[in-house]
Amino acid sequence: MMAEKPEGLNKCLRDFSEEARELYLNQSVPYLELPPSPLEFYRDWIGPNKPCIIRNAFNHWPALSRWSPDYFREKLGSKVISVAVTPDGYADAVSDGRFVMPEERSMTFSSLLDVIEGKVEQPGVYYVQKQCSNLTEELPELTADIEEDIPWMSQALGRSPDAVNFWMGEASAVTSLHKDHYENLYCVISGEKTFILLPPSDRPFIPYGLYPPAVYRQAADGRFEVDEQTDAEKVPWIPLDPLDPDLERYGSYRGARPLLCRVAAGEMLYLPSLWFHHVRQSQGCIAVNFWYDMDYDIKYNYYQLLDTLSGLTPQP
């Protein structure tokens, strides 16, 4: 159970969020028609911790014209990759009082494409979402089709990206609401991604709980079972679905002001660290993202305090 906060503290947290909106947050995600200089990007976006969508930032990548099912079949058809499989598309999400992770399945790229293109019917929802620099580690054959980093971002932060990830899957695959401590540049190669974004200052309105971890397993008859990890620690996670928020149960979410943005092919989303985000995509959407793991002691300590005041760590 989460401890009840004094009304005075509740008011301060609500006022903090409202003042952030009035002082510096945008009411929608702005577009930049060209990539900025490193100084401009740090000054206008990284420093204020605000998202934006950047156009014409990677028009020169061969991936934009090359990456297609036919190209992948020819270049990677027999390549074995890691694919997340779930019964309903929700991986790493709260379900029936548990934090359930996907079944991580090894399969050839051609087999994945057969599912995505509807050539083969399989139970479950398939999504390439492994977030350990899977593009450079599992799919090095594709690295020549993109840049190894985003030069103006790397110059602004003074470092190279810590991970470069490849994303591809079915339209039913959903990334549940969460936040990361990475600076994130999300590049859509084909299709479209839809993001719901909430700033860190909306933390007081976002519910958290502690949930026992579990993993989906597909049985021989095709049904999905849930294996509980009884020896593992509980996971703090957000139980609320912003597509259909249960406001009777999580009434505080009424105070949140989510931003909806769509990132089309050839566009790049700058997703600042610690912003809450929920992600959907069109069928077969292909994307690449660059993670920069920064050591923002002041920033993290500030938002950790906000987490603590908002009750991020409820008592089991």
Question: In this predicted model, what pLDDT tens digit does every residue of 286-313 receive, in sequence order?
Answer: 999 999 988 665 565 666 666 776 764 4
Enumerate helices (H) and strands (E) in the chain, giving the number of each. Answer: 8, 20
| Pick from 262, 249, 100: nearest CA to 197 | 262
User: If residue 8 lies in a helix (H) or strand (E), which one and from where to where?
Assistant: helix 7-23
Query: In the predicted model, what is the mean pLDDT of residues 183-197?
Result: 98
Q: Does residue 153 carry a pLDDT above 90?
A: yes
pLDDT reported for residue 309: 67
The mean per-residue pLDDT over the stretch 86-105 comes to 96
Residue reference for tokens 């779930």 = 86
For 196-220, what is the mean pLDDT? Answer: 95
pTM exceeds cut of 0.85: yes
- Of 242, 243, 201, 195, nearest to 53 by C-alpha is 195
**Residue 127: which pLDDT band, with cuts at 50, 70 and 90?**
very high
DSSP structure class, residue 36 = P
Cβ–Cβ < 8 Å for 265, 188: yes
Report the first-to-last Cα separation within the chain, whole angstroms.
6
Separation between Cα atoms, residue 188 and residue 214, nearest integer Å: 31
Task: Please check the confidence at residue 1 and state whether its pLDDT lies above 60.
Answer: no
**Sign of CA pseudo-dihedral 242, 91, 94, 9:** negative
Give the amino acid at 116: I
Q: 297-302: long-range contacts (C-beta < 8 A, 24 or more apart)?
A: 299/49, 299/273, 299/274, 300/181, 300/274
Average pLDDT, the chain: 91
The pLDDT tens digits of the residues spanning 54-69 come to: 999 999 999 999 999 9
| Residue from 295, 310, 290, 7 nearest 150 by CA | 290
How many angstroms separate the CA atoms of 238 and 256, rounded?
14
